[in-house]
Structure 1
């Protein structure tokens, strides 16, 4: 295996953190409470503050540090081959509404940057979905026709700016690239100027709906609000069966410096070869930062270092002069019918809303969600409201995806509880830097040995629904393969839907068996 990129960590996160925000005072009352300070939550809070609402933005960690801080930051209405699927599942009108809403989000982001004078490395560029094989080129050509029929400025081309030949590609003009944290910090600053309140280190663990709604934090504080928006990426409250309609996936990212003259001039995606996504960003004088994403996998399925190696090899083979500098990973959720869930939290909800299921396109989706949810809360109804409504349930159309999504989760949920589920060796066999699920009597324990040889042990049962976590050898985290919850080696929650940490285990003397999970 070749050397890994120099720095493990998102390039966007190097921009630094904004101001440190406190926890909310107990008993805080506002018009709207927004849970989650990624692009969907921040956009929603800002739109509502601009509409005159008093808003509290509540973040479990730091502002713009979660999924939004690890994106590839493409703002595009061309989402792989989604328009063929939409034309089949939602009809020509549904596909057209989807295209309009995504194009509207791009235009809105550009307008907000101009209105607030935000310098976020915004660039307009074409987006491409390309194919390298003749078979896949036929699918891409059909997508060009579907995207054009939906109203996008799409065309089918056989030449691109990539340094290798393609068999065909959809090209859509006028899309955008930006630095997400520069944009969102500016939005948060303007949110404060408009009277919005921002709170960090505030994990919400309870929601009681009513008039008003009441939120409860991890440390027992309460926040009351007429309306509540759950924008936590994967919803932490499942009141419209969204857990059965979302499939989490993780993708790896490698980035490196190339000469500006080798910039392929756009943003590119191919569904072939476990997905490959390419874009660049401003970097240094005469240079660009090449950002390549791929190797999609379900959290908790392991062998992440091998996946990084494959992505790195693809990048250096296609861009021989790249000097790799960064690597990181992102997580997203695929919805059953290809359309995000943005709207009422459940069928009887009157004052609770959700935004989730962006399937790798959360930048345009987050801006769209902010506008849509703010409109709903202030009594308006955009034309695409019903398209994104989470309450929609189309059994015939969604059933195959729901069955596929839940088959693996159900397998883990049931299989992890069988009495004969054991492992492959004792904790003493875990090498420095490694991790495994081992047995301590009838209990499963997640054990990590750090580089100094010290063991760190926590319960292996995910606190969401009890599936056994697995070890991510590249990021040194514990991941649940059922619904994508992620935990640090000390058990702390890194990513929901889990709300509570894994219980620490202090005595490993009885540990007998292991599982290189």
Structure 2
């Protein structure tokens, strides 16, 4: 495998001061328990705290270090070619709701940044969708017309203000970008200042209902009247979400730049392969962040190649210097491009709330669904319930399972720093070598639904090609829906 440049990890996480909340030990009671300290979970928690509810937040790892902290963190209502699609497929009314909901989410972020004095590098920027192909100009024109139909300001341009040739662009003025990890740390501080309790390294291992909802971790349990599962993909739901969504990843790289002015804005291309661009910064100075095209989680046997391709594209098209950071992020797509959020089954599982399927636009959608869930818990009906209805019909053939891309004949095929799956009778073993060549092994059977994992040779993780669970090399859970680690195996 080629040597990848840059530090592994998100530039947003690296630029933030890590939180240090305690691990849950013992039993607690609360009005609501939130599982997951990402943008949905902390938004819901803060909204509930503002309403005077007692709230406990359980985070399996660290606040702000997971999906939200690895996103591009664009605060925008421009979600590529979304409005023409929505008008054509679900109608003007729901397309209008989507635009208004995301506008409300964007405004909520700005309000909380101001009200709670959150230092998160919030910066107003125009957002652009662009194409480099003359044959796709008509799609940009159609999107401009659709955006105006739902009341959004959308300017059609002959080219995007980027240092490479484009044939058309759509500009949404006065959008914004920020450091999402710093923002979540600020939300967490606001939650605790209002009496909320946050526990880290406290992964939910079971969620069950008795007289109240009970969420159990390795160290304790929380009983609450409402539970909010805000874990990217739900780790439990009364209505199955895994087959309503498709897990996908993308690669991201942050490059050193001398002058951020040549890329003044946030940009997303519609051509294949797609790329997304924005500026940012870490402790050492300004950065240019570029994203590569999406790919199904666990379906690519050479993720490292995608970083190499992304770096080549960036060096060809952008004024970038050294690679500073690189990372993968995961999201879940839905068939209609609208997230699922709310109570999946209020008649049989009242008080159980979820949010998932953000289609890579979780900053504004995640904020508005978090506020919606909190409002519903407080007895305030929300205009967005129909839009995000988690029990709405879906095409049953949308979700596709993949197969492990890492089957090898023996451990001799596994080089230092690499991993592979060995089939031994009915047993599948996920084996990997550390950089010194020492061999380790865990079960290759995902603890969610039993699929065989793939080795991610860039992040050095075990990724499930069925429902998107991601495990560290040692088998510990990074992302659900799996709740239990891969079993240890002695070779």
Q: TM-score range by the shorter chain?
A: over 0.9
Match of 2:222 in 1: 223
Quickly say closer, same or farther: Cα 1:199–1:159, change in 2 above 3 A. same
The alpha-carbon deviation at position 441 of structure 1 amounts to 3.2
Match of 2:69 in 1: 69
Deviations 1:336-369 (A, max 9, x none): 2110111103353321101111111111122112
Q: Within 5 Å, give how 1:106-255 maps onto structure 2.
A: 106-209=106-209, 211-219=211-219, 221-255=220-254
Deviations 1:236-286 (A, max 9, x none): 00321211111010000011122325432111111323320000024589x
Deviations 1:363-387 (A, max 9, x none): 1122112211111111112222211
| Mapped contact 1:57–1:199 kept (Cα < 8 A) | yes
Alpha-carbon distance in structure 2 between the residues aligned to 1:443 and 1:32:
41
The alpha-carbon deviation at position 293 of structure 1 amounts to 0.6
Match of 1:263 in 2: 262
Structure 2 residue runs of 5 or longer lacking an equivalent are none
| Mapped contact 1:157–1:168 kept (Cα < 8 A) | yes
1:464 equivalent in alignment to 2:448: yes
Deviations 1:270-327 (A, max 9, x none): 1323320000024589x63100011311121221111111100000100144332111
| Mapped contact 1:74–1:176 kept (Cα < 8 A) | yes
| Mapped contact 1:123–1:178 kept (Cα < 8 A) | yes
Quickly say closer, same or farther: Cα 1:470–1:19, change in 2 above 3 A. closer
Alpha-carbon distance in structure 2 between the residues aligned to 1:135 and 1:403:
30
SS of 1:259 mapped into structure 2: coil
Alpha-carbon distance in structure 2 between the residues aligned to 1:36 and 1:3:
34
Match of 1:511 in 2: none
Deviations 1:33-63 (A, max 9, x none): 0000011101110110011000001111111
Deviations 1:403-447 (A, max 9, x none): 1423xx1x64xxx8xxxx995421122111221111223311111
The alpha-carbon deviation at position 153 of structure 1 amounts to 0.8
The alpha-carbon deviation at position 472 of structure 1 amounts to 0.6
What is the root-mean-square deviation in Å for CA atoms of aligned residues?
A: 1.9
SS of 1:405 mapped into structure 2: coil
1:453 equivalent in alignment to 2:437: yes
SS of 1:174 mapped into structure 2: strand
Quickly say closer, same or farther: Cα 1:497–1:251, change in 2 above 3 A. same
SS of 2:175 mapped into structure 1: strand
| Mapped contact 1:347–1:391 kept (Cα < 8 A) | no
The alpha-carbon deviation at position 333 of structure 1 amounts to 0.5
Match of 2:286 in 1: 288
Quickly say closer, same or farther: Cα 1:12–1:175, change in 2 above 3 A. same
SS of 2:247 mapped into structure 1: strand
Alpha-carbon distance in structure 2 between the residues aligned to 1:423 and 1:307:
20
Structure 1 residue runs of 5 or longer lacking an equivalent are 508-517
The alpha-carbon deviation at position 2 of structure 1 amounts to 7.5
Alpha-carbon distance in structure 1 between the residues aligned to 2:305 and 2:319:
20
Alpha-carbon distance in structure 2 between the residues aligned to 1:453 and 1:261:
42
Match of 1:298 in 2: 296
1:403 equivalent in alignment to 2:397: yes
**TM-score of the superposed pair, with normalisation by structure 2:** 0.95
| Mapped contact 1:192–1:198 kept (Cα < 8 A) | yes
| Mapped contact 2:212–2:225 kept (Cα < 8 A) | yes
Match of 1:490 in 2: 474
1:505 equivalent in alignment to 2:471: no
Alpha-carbon distance in structure 1 between the residues aligned to 2:224 and 2:54:
9
Q: Within 5 Å, give how 1:84-123 maps onto structure 2.
A: 84-123=84-123
Q: Within 5 Å, give how 1:359-398 maps onto structure 2.
A: 359-393=359-393, 398=394
**TM-score of the superposed pair, with normalisation by structure 1:** 0.91
The alpha-carbon deviation at position 205 of structure 1 amounts to 2.0
SS of 1:314 mapped into structure 2: helix
| Mapped contact 2:24–2:217 kept (Cα < 8 A) | no
Total equivalences in the alignment = 489
Alpha-carbon distance in structure 2 between the residues aligned to 1:108 and 1:67:
20
SS of 1:107 mapped into structure 2: helix
Alpha-carbon distance in structure 2 between the residues aligned to 1:85 and 1:321:
34
Quickly say closer, same or farther: Cα 1:454–1:2, change in 2 above 3 A. closer
Quickly say closer, same or farther: Cα 1:347–1:212, change in 2 above 3 A. closer
Greater displacement, 263-272 / 492-501: 263-272
Quickly say closer, same or farther: Cα 1:222–1:422, change in 2 above 3 A. closer
Quickly say closer, same or farther: Cα 1:437–1:157, change in 2 above 3 A. same
